[in-house]
Amino acid sequence: MITIGGIVVRGAAVDAQTRCVHYAGAVDVVALRFRCCGDWYPCFRCHDGAVAHERLVWPAADADAVVALCGCCGATMTLAEYEAAPECPSCGAAFNPRCALHHHLYFA
């Protein structure tokens, strides 16, 4: 567990930029908030390994919900902002383009 800008990121995070034991590449610097519990994790595997409940994805109607955190600068993004951002709007850190493959695990 780590804390970035007052936000607690749970799970098997291995460094201060939210890389975890599952995703530890140079561009794996985003933590996500989960709709089911409202808690932040580096990835869905961290979430699923830490809790006993079923993961819920964010519906498109929650576009204004704060769902993503940049591990580089601590900026938070709404669902709409994160989906439109190939990089952090605040610090320009590139996000992993392969995250799109896992989009359905987090968002409807």
In the complex, which residues of this chain contact Zn ion (CB under 5 A)? 20, 22, 34, 36-37, 42-43, 45-46, 70, 72-73, 75, 88, 90-91, 93
**What value, to the nearest 5°, has the Cα angle with vertex 10 and ends 7 and 12?**
135
H-run or E-run covering 80: helix 79-83
In this complex, which beta carbon is closest to Zn ion, that of residue 9 or of residue 72?
Answer: 72
In this complex, which beta carbon is closest to Zn ion, that of residue 39 or of residue 63?
Answer: 39
Q: How far is the CB of 56 from Zn ion (least distance, A)?
A: 7
* Pairwise CA distance, residues 71 & 81, whole Å: 16
